[in-house]
């Protein structure tokens, strides 16, 4: 089961009376996290670029490395 399928299954278990409140909370959470991720991408790309400036990476590879959640960067 994917994460998305697990979330949908859990949402189906929410009682009808509280479902709207849960959906409002989910909307707020999505807005907060999507905005944060969009702001972090250029910063992460810059960190990778500055760290690995001696390596020639195409933009797609550079972005993939920057977005990898398992890697951590010291942004100064």
**Spatial separation of the C-alpha atoms in residues 17 and 39, rounded to whole Å:** 35
Q: Where are the domains of the chain?
A: 17-76
User: What residue has token string 């949908």?
Assistant: 8
pLDDT at residue number 9: 87
> Which sign, positive or negative, has the C-alpha torsion 42, 33, 70, 59?
negative
pLDDT recorded at residue 75: 58
Q: What is the pLDDT of residues 14-73, one digit of tens each?
A: 888 888 888 888 888 888 777 666 677 787 777 777 776 566 778 888 788 777 766 665
Q: What are the tokens at 56?
A: 């020639």
Sign of CA dihedral 48, 49, 54, 56: positive
Is the pTM higher than 0.85? The answer reads: no
Q: pLDDT tens across 12-29, in order?
A: 888 888 888 888 888 888
């Amino acid at each position: 089961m994917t994460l998305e399928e697990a979330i949908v299954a859990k949402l189906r278990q929410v009682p009808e009376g509280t479902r709207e409140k849960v959906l409002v909370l989910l909307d707020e959470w999505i807005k907060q996290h999507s905005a944060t991720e969009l702001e972090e991408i250029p910063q992460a790309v810059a960190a990778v670029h500055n760290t690995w400036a001696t390596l020639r990476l195409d933009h797609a590879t550079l972005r993939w490395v920057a977005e990898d959640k398992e890697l951590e960067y010291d942004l100064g």
